[in-house]
């Protein structure tokens, strides 16, 4: 009888600890599966709309900023709301561990172009900006994983008449738990990138983008045995190719991206990831600064030499509404 009581007591004491460990591992996986805001994309959403109509303001990157040449300074802000289905929100390995959910995200962003400098062969423009996103899991029992993300960046963009552009920047990201008001993650990401945008026809254009950067990441309050705060730090090389088709007020954008990450800290030392992302988005322009979107995306990650389960696949499907303005 005493032995039975002792076993029950140990189970009662250890159960909350085990649950906390499981939740910490899930938070860690969610962080790994999160795609961070792109400074280049935010800048591109306010690119000069006087360019050829075959260039989408969403994905071709910032074009030669004609409006900035007159004022020397430009500010922009925007708001995006999305409601979508996510098949694997916590980036779990194996279908039995996945818990599909609906997600609602709301992003507020803003920034400034700090003048335009004509360097004869290219135009140089510095940008600074930031964003704040509320990420809510709905109707899935995952509400305790709700989190808010803060982002900030400084970007130096050089644009050439040939259609190529180069950029150098640094961005900051931070995730904070809504339920527990704790900082779960932060990173500094210095990076370099190149991009080439060109027209295929009057209604069709394409964009090639490549980048390399260093994710200096830290995780907090996770308490997973054998891990360190900096274990998610890695060097990433990525490349993407997107097509943009314009038909009156409708814009179709299929895109493929591949990324390679090399980890070198803590339990992840020696781990490498290869991730494939395939997406299709349809934007319907309701006005110059307002668009309605429908989208689908699929991600697949294969990890080598990982000490913890790290392979996963997931897809999103949903709708969104975006507003942006500049002055």
Residues comprising the chain, all counted: 327
In DSSP terms, 217 is beta-bridged to 187
Spatial separation of the C-alpha atoms in residues 211 and 44, rounded to whole Å: 16
- Alpha-carbon radius of gyration of the chain: 22
Quick one: tokens of 281? 């988005």
Quick one: tokens of 97? 């561990």
Of 155, 130, 117, 120, the C-alpha closest to 77 is 130
SS3 224: coil
Helix ranges (DSSP H) in 167-271 = none
- Domain of residue 100 covers 2-326
Question: Taking a C-beta distance cutoff of 8 angstroms, is the pair 171, 216 a contact?
Answer: no
CB-based contacts of 40, cutoff 8 Å, min separation 6: 61, 62, 155, 167, 169, 193, 195, 209
SS3 42: helix
Spatial separation of the C-alpha atoms in residues 244 and 59, rounded to whole Å: 8
DSSP, residue by residue, 131-148: EEEEEEEESSS-GGG-EE
How many domains is the chain partitioned into structurally?
Answer: 1
Q: What is the pLDDT of residue 65?
A: 41
Question: Taking a C-beta distance cutoff of 8 angstroms, is the pair 193, 209 a contact?
Answer: yes
| Residue 141, phi then psi, degrees to nearest 5 | 75, 10
Q: What is the pLDDT of residue 120?
A: 85
Quick one: tokens of 93? 């390995």
Quick one: tokens of 309? 């389960």
Q: What is the pLDDT of residue 263?
A: 95
Question: Taking a C-beta distance cutoff of 8 angstroms, is the pair 171, 193 a contact?
Answer: no
Give the CATH number of the domain where residue 177 resides: 2.40.160.40
Cα dihedral 196, 78, 292, 297, rounded to 10, equals 50
Mean pLDDT by 10 residues, the chain (327 residues): 47 44 76 78 58 36 42 84 95 83 95 90 93 92 93 94 92 94 93 94 95 93 63 95 95 97 92 97 93 97 88 95 88
């Amino acid at each position: 009888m005493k032995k039975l009581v002792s076993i029950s007591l140990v189970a009662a004491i250890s159960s909350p600890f085990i649950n906390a460990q499981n939740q910490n591992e899930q938070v860690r996986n969610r962080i790994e599966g999160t795609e961070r805001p792109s400074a280049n994309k935010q800048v591109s959403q306010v690119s000069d709309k006087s360019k050829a109509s075959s260039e989408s303001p969403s994905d071709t990157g910032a074009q030669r900023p004609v409006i900035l040449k007159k004022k020397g300074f430009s500010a922009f802000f925007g708001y995006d709301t999305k409601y979508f289905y996510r098949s694997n929100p916590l980036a779990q390995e194996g279908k039995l561990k996945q818990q599909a959910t609906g997600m609602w995200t709301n992003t507020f962003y803003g920034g400034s172009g700090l003048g335009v400098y004509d360097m004869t062969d290219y135009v140089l423009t510095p940008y600074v900006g930031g964003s704040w996103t509320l990420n809510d899991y709905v109707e899935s029992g995952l509400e305790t994983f709700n989190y808010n993300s803060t982002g900030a960046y400084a970007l130096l963009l050089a644009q050439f008449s040939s259609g190529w552009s180069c950029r150098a920047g640094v961005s900051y990201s931070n995730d904070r738990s809504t339920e527990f008001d704790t900082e779960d993650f932060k990173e500094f990401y210095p990076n370099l990138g190149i991009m080439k945008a060109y027209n295929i026809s009057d209604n069709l254009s394409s964009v090639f983008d490549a980048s390399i950067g260093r994710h200096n990441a830290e995780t907090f309050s996770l308490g997973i045995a054998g891990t360190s705060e900096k274990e998610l730090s890695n060097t990433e090389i990525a490349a993407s190719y997107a097509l943009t088709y314009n038909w009156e007020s409708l814009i179709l954008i299929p895109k493929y991206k591949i990324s390679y990450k090399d980890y070198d800290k803590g339990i992840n030392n020696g781990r490498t990831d290869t991730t494939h992302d395939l997406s299709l988005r349809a934007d319907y322009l309701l006005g110059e600064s307002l668009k309605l979107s429908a989208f689908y995306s699929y991600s697949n990650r294969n990890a080598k030499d990982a000490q913890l389960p790290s392979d996963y696949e997931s897809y999103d499907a949903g709708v969104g509404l975006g507003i942006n303005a500049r002055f």
